[in-house]
Amino acid sequence: MKRLIIPALFALLLAACSSTPDGPEQGGAPVETRGGGASSSVATVTAGGIDSRKLPPELTDPKNILSKRSIYFDYDKYDVKPEYKDLVTAHAKFLANNRQFKMLIQGNTDDRGSREYNLALGQKRADAIKKMLNLLGAREEQVESVSLGEEKPKNEGQNEAAWAENRRGDMLYNGEF
- CA-CA distance, 69 to 172, in Å (whole number)? 7
- CA-CA distance, 134 to 121, in Å (whole number)? 20
Spell out the alpha helix ranges (H) of 17-72: 57-60
Per the domain annotation, does 30 fall within a domain?
A: no
- CA-CA distance, 28 to 38, in Å (whole number)? 27
Per the domain annotation, does 129 fall within a domain?
A: yes
Helix (H) or strand (E) holding 171: strand 168-173
| Count of the separate structural domains present in the chain | 1
Decide: 174 and 48 in contact? Cβ < 8 Å. yes
Looking at residue 77, which CATH number applies to its domain? 3.30.1330.60
Per the domain annotation, does 12 fall within a domain?
A: no
Count of C-beta atoms within a 10 Å radius of residue 102: 22
Mean pLDDT value across the chain = 83
Residues 6+ apart with CB under 8 A from 82: none
- CA-CA distance, 117 to 2, in Å (whole number)? 58
Per the domain annotation, does 15 fall within a domain?
A: no
Q: Which pLDDT value is given to residue 21?
A: 46
Q: How does pLDDT run across 125-166, given as a tens digit for each residue?
A: 999 999 999 999 999 999 999 999 999 999 999 999 999 999
pTM reported for the whole predicted model: 0.71
Strand ranges (E), 25-142 = 70-72, 103-108
Residue that wins the pLDDT comparison between 132 and 33: 132
Residue that wins the pLDDT comparison between 115 and 47: 115
- CA-CA distance, 14 to 67, in Å (whole number)? 58
